């Protein structure tokens, strides 16, 4: 396969969801599949391998270079959202008794088949002892031992560490490559900083879709019928929840018949309370994604969003209440003042509930073991619509 064809194939695979990419690679020769997987982000490569049939996965692994094949098999032992899925095989590994001159000669050969950033010094049990920087090797005495020039203040990641935790620990270090060691300090692999943050970016980019019920595997290139299968079930769920809001409005039909002008403010109330809830939801999801929301912070988050809902509801409700008063007065309604009060109180109550729901829904989903972003917007919209319309029409029935 030509270089141009390789580039086109790689671009095609990158645009596909892992399942579709696996289907495509299964139609190609094993060596072509290996070249594509080696060029992908390690996490994406593992996802594609995971979607392949067992037979073709074994064929691909058998055709891969021995170090890469071993690493792919080892990476599959760890959770998908962990550092272990991103590991690459460590190539430049040396013993502390080697000399600088001998190490440089070995590196000259290794760089012909691998991109090497740092060298690593391990003992006979493969425990990581130090890191080699090429500058120190080039400036060191040829007869000096690696134990004399290596850095021993080592920062290493654990293979079972979640990507969020790894990102927090590396964000201020700015290293191009991080070693990965087990609990005994044995060197298992390497993770490139670019791949680490790229993997996290892929995960974050999927949240915007999952909030609305869009499957995180869907891409622009996803076939029409597969997209329909991904999206349609959540639209049916959304329809059922919309019936709940419609049922609330139907329950207060006599009130709407008596005060038709209330119908003009239903979209205003639902829109404002829904936006309040989405703001709280976005902050909660951002805190979970970036690791800012630590254990014990949940109560503080809920209280903060409830208080913000109260304050925002009062300010927005005052403006909306004045609008209702002016609108009712233009209709010569004798209860214009009371209608304005109803809008004010409804806006405050709705924004408080929306803020609380925006914080509680992702927290609840996480506690239940589900993805906090999964269709959270659908559940939030249902809660805000039912509460805002119920409170608004209920107060109007009671006070006007």
The domains located in the chain, with CATH, are 3-77 (no CATH), 93-192 (3.10.580.10), 211-399 (1.10.357.20)
pLDDT of 194 higher than 60: yes
- Confidence band for 8, pLDDT divided at 50, 70 and 90: confident
Average pLDDT estimate for 321-343: 86
pLDDT digits (tens, 9 = 90+) for 31-53: 888 888 888 877 788 888 888 88
156 versus 218: which is more confidently predicted?
A: 156
- Confidence band for 103, pLDDT divided at 50, 70 and 90: very high
Mention every residue, 6+ apart, whose C-beta is less than 8 A from residue 81. 162, 163, 203
pLDDT computed for residue 148 by the predictor: 92
Instruction: Compute how many other C-beta atoms are within 10 angstroms of the C-beta atom of residue 128.
Output: 22
Average pLDDT estimate for 270-274: 83
pLDDT computed for residue 336 by the predictor: 84
pLDDT computed for residue 90 by the predictor: 87
pLDDT computed for residue 54 by the predictor: 86
pLDDT computed for residue 147 by the predictor: 92
pLDDT of 202 higher than 60: no
pLDDT of 205 higher than 70: no
Average pLDDT estimate for 1-17: 70
pLDDT digits (tens, 9 = 90+) for 54-78: 888 888 988 888 888 888 888 888 8
pLDDT of 240 higher than 60: yes
70 versus 4: which is more confidently predicted?
A: 70
pLDDT computed for residue 219 by the predictor: 56
105 versus 174: which is more confidently predicted?
A: 105
pLDDT computed for residue 45 by the predictor: 84
pLDDT computed for residue 3 by the predictor: 46
308 versus 201: which is more confidently predicted?
A: 308
Q: What is the mean pLDDT of the chain?
A: 82
Average pLDDT estimate for 89-118: 89
- Confidence band for 120, pLDDT divided at 50, 70 and 90: very high
pLDDT computed for residue 97 by the predictor: 93
Average pLDDT estimate for 333-352: 88
**% of the chain exceeding 70 in pLDDT:** 88
pLDDT of 215 higher than 60: no
């Amino acid at each position: 396969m030509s270089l141009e064809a390789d580039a086109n194939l790689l671009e095609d695979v990158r645009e596909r969801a892992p399942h579709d990419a696996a289907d495509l690679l299964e139609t190609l020769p094993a060596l072509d599949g290996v070249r594509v997987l080696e060029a992908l982000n390690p996490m994406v490569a593992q996802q594609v391998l995971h979607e392949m049939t067992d037979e073709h996965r074994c064929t691909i692994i058998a055709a891969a270079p021995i170090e890469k094949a071993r690493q792919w098999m080892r990476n599959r032992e760890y959770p998908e959202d962990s550092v272990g899925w991103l590991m690459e095989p460590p190539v430049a590994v040396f013993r502390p008794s080697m000399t600088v001159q001998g190490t440089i000669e070995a590196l000259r050969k290794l760089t012909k088949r691998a991109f090497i950033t740092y060298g690593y010094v391990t003992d006979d049990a493969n425990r990581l002892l130090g890191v080699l920087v090429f500058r120190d090797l080039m400036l060191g005495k040829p007869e000096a031992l690696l134990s004399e020039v290596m850095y021993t203040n080592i920062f290493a990641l654990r293979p079972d560490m979640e990507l969020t935790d790894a990102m927090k620990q590396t964000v201020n270090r700015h290293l191009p490559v991080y070693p990965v060691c087990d609990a005994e300090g044995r060197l298992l692999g390497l993770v490139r900083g670019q791949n680490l943050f790229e993997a996290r970016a892929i995960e974050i980019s999927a949240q915007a879709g999952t909030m609305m019920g869009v499957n995180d595997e869907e891409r622009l290139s996803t076939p029409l019928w597969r997209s329909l299968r991904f999206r349609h079930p959540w639209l049916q769920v959304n329809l059922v929840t919309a019936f709940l809001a419609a049922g609330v409005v139907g329950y207060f039909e006599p009130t709407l018949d008596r005060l038709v002008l209330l119908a003009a403010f239903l979209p205003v109330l639902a829109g404002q309370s829904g936006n309040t809830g989405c703001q709280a939801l976005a902050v909660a999801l951002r805190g979970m994604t970036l690791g800012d929301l630590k254990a014990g912070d949940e109560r503080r988050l809920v209280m903060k969003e409830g208080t913000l809902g109260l304050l925002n509801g009062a300010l927005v409700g005052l403006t909306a209440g004045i609008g209702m008063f002016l609108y009712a007065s233009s209709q010569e309604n004798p209860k214009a003042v009371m209608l304005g009060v109803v809008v004010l109180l409804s806006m405050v109550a709705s924004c408080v509930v929306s803020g609380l729901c925006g914080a509680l829904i992702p927290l609840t989903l996480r506690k239940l073991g589900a993805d906090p972003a999964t269709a959270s917007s659908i559940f939030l919209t249902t809660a805000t619509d039912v509460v805002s319309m119920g409170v608004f029409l209920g107060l109007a029935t009671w006070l006007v």
